[in-house]
């Protein structure tokens, strides 16, 4: 959490990947809000939340704070990741 925010404040990224199960500092929702609020370099950078959970309720909960992806974009991304995992 804290180190992720520090990185987002120092360098511009094309996309930011965040583990939903952060163990230190902010939780993933707080980290997203802080990046969008405090980072001039990454306030509009697409943020992708990753999780190993297969629980659809938890994934839908996470999608509520994801921007600028639409819900449909996010569902497509989840489907693509699941297909990749099956092919590895």
pLDDT digits (tens, 9 = 90+) for 46-84: 888 877 766 677 666 666 655 566 777 777 777 777 777
Domain ranges of the chain: 2-87
Angle between helices 28-38 and 2-10 (to 10 degrees): 20
Q: Would you call 86 helix, strand, or coil by DSSP?
A: helix
Q: Give the global pTM.
A: 0.59
């Amino acid at each position: 959490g804290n180190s992720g925010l520090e990185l987002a404040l120092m360098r511009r990224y094309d996309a930011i990947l965040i583990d939903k199960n952060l163990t230190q500092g902010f939780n993933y929702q707080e980290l997203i809000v802080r990046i969008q609020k405090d980072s001039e370099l990454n306030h509009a950078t697409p943020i992708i939340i990753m999780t190993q959970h297969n629980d659809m309720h938890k994934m839908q909960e996470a999608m509520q704070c994801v921007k600028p992806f639409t819900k449909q974009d996010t569902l497509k991304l989840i489907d693509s990741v699941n297909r990749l995992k099956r092919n590895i």
